[in-house]
Every structure is written in structure tokens, then in C-alpha cells.
Amino acid sequence: MNQTHETKKNASRAKTVRAVFSSGEDCKTKLERYFEEYLPASGEVADIEGLADYLGITRKELIALSEHKTYGALLRRAWNRIAKIKKQLAFRGKLPAAVLSFDLKNNHGYRDRPEEQQEGSVPAVIFHGRAEEWAK
């Protein structure tokens, strides 16, 4: 039963791919039109849901397509471009930081990291016992 479900899911993905892009060049052309024509004409801010809607698919289907061997790299670059646009809006005060943070975590794989886990940082050391004497 599990194998049947996987087979149906893969068939659905293949159907989605065929319905959205006819080739790698078609994918590239549609992405360029989204950024260069659709967004300026509509006045919308670039985002994942907007791109999915423009392509006539769901956000979930777009996420699945980002792993496709032919279209994945192009879609991931578009994702990066969307994140860049939003960050620039936030830097200019046109997008609240909380909105940017939420979106980057939910759509772009960003996450919070405590300071002590960041690269190059020194781990905190906690002394037990005679720390007051040592500090003199």
C-alpha cells in the first residue's frame, strides 16, 4: 500500500512538471518573465507563493520542483533572488524585520542560531566552586 501511494505521488509530480515547464529553457524564460515583467506590472513583492501562483501551481508543488534534476537549480536561484529582494526591502525599511524573519525561516531555510553555536565563537565556560576566589 505504501508503494502504491509513492507511485501515485511520483506520477502526480511528473504531471505537475509537464504542466509547468516544457524544457529547461522554458523554465528559465518563465522565471525571467516573473521577475522582469510580471512583478513590475503587478506591483507585487517577489515571494514564493507569488511565484507558485504565477506558475499555476501550489507552494508545495513548487517546493517539490526545486529538487527536480532539470529545473531545481534554476528554481533555487529564483528562490535566492526572492530572498535578496526581500532583504533589500527590509534594509530600506519597507518590510518589517519580523515579516522578513518569518518568511526567511518558512520559505528559505534560514534559522536562528544561539551566539555560542555560531562559527568562530568561543564557547561559554561556567566555573563551579571557588570562582569568587579565582576572580580576585
Model confidence pLDDT, tens digit, residues 62-86:
999 999 999 999 999 999 999 999 9
What's the pLDDT score for residue 126? 61
Please state the domain extents for the chain: 2-110
Q: How far apart are alpha carbons 9 and 82 in whole angstroms?
A: 28
pLDDT band at 60 (very low <50, low <70, confident <90, very high): very high
Asked if 13 and 64 count as a contact pair (C-beta separation under 8 A), the reply is yes
- 96 vs 12, more confident: 96
Say how many CA atoms lie within 13 Å of 127 toward its Cβ. Answer: 7
Rounded average pLDDT over 42-62: 95
Residue showing cell 506591483:
43
pTM of the complete model:
0.71
Q: How far apart are alpha carbons 113 and 8 in whole angstroms?
A: 38
Q: Is 71 exposed, middle or buried (0-12, 13-18, 19+ CB in 10 A)?
A: buried
